[in-house]
Amino acid sequence: MARQNLTTVTEFILVGFTDHPKLAVLLFLVFLSFYLVTILGNVGVIILIQVDILATLATDTTVISYSRCAAQFFFFTLCTGTECYLLAVMAYDRFVAISSPLHYNVTVTPGTCRGLLAAAYICGVSGAILCNTCTFTLSFCDDNQINFFFCDLPPLLKIACSSMTQNEIVILFFAKFMFLANIMIILISYMLIIRAILRVKSAGARAKSFSTCTSHLTTVVLFFGTLAFMYQRINSDKSPEEDKIVSVFYTVIIPMLNPLIYSLRNKDVKAAFRKVIGKLQFPRNCLTHGNYCSR
């Protein structure tokens, strides 16, 4: 009987660090400064990296040492390869979420996520070491001008003075194997996803299920599409200017679009955005209708 008279709790109150108004403002400023320093630190690192690459736009000629070129190529290959594997892992994640939603938490456990993430980075590092080693053991003779804005595989292979060597064969085989293997995983995952969606009777439920894949599918098409266009033209006589334009997509534009593509499809992000907009519009509505607004 005593439990029946209790009120059900529907919200909680966070006491925080202090209930003193002056101290609350001080703590707000302190934590705000922490977050700003964190953001500025990360942005600073990104700017330093980008400025080093973008230096070719500010001057007529730039010189990069052999070791710095190798380091730049290694980290670029590492990031690109790892993203390929992560996109394949995300396709598998979408397949499990749509085909077996009730068993998702059992199948995709935190341990499984950590294992898949570690595997993606291990494969990315291994591939970067292999490509970097094979590329920079090639012979580079008189021609040392890289007709590109950073050290990438196609322009480096074009200025190598040796003919098609074992190293180049290994590089091209690995690059195409990595590309095709991840594409096959993604294609198989989406074939199974489409089959699972077609089994759903409700048209609204089918549209909702497929909408959860649109962000990932958009990134896959943009990323793998530009990579395929770029790396399938290594031995062709196409204009280097075309390669530069294409490379801008997977080095600059796609990373810029990724946060927008994924965030705008995330219901939590959209809910937070609507909440912020609602708070901004609430005082204006109160003033318009002459109502009293309380906090």
Which pLDDT does position 263 carry in this prediction? 65
CB-count exposure of residue 259 (10 Å: 0-12, 13-18, 19+): exposed
Tens of pLDDT, residues 28-59: 787 778 778 777 766 766 666 566 666 666 66
Neighbours of 98 (CB within 10 A): 21
Q: How far is CA 88 from CA 128, 168, 235, 262, in A?
A: 18, 26, 27, 16
Quote the CA–CA distance of 185 and 1 in Å, as a whole number.
58
Tens-binned pLDDT, residue by residue, of the chain (295 aa)? 455 565 665 665 656 556 676 777 777 787 778 778 777 766 766 666 566 666 666 665 577 888 888 888 898 888 888 888 989 998 998 888 888 888 888 888 888 888 998 999 999 999 999 988 888 888 887 777 887 777 888 788 888 876 666 777 787 788 888 888 899 999 999 999 888 888 887 777 788 777 778 878 888 888 888 877 776 665 556 666 677 777 777 777 777 776 666 665 566 666 666 776 776 665 555 545 445 454 4
Distance (Å) of CA 224 to CA 179, 215, 247, 277: 8, 14, 12, 36
Q: What pLDDT shows up at residue 129?
A: 92
* CA–CA gap between residue 189 and residue 213 (Å, rounded): 11
Cα(142)–Cα(128) distance, integer angstroms: 26
Total-model pTM: 0.68
Give the chain's length: 295
**What pLDDT score does 13 carry?**
62
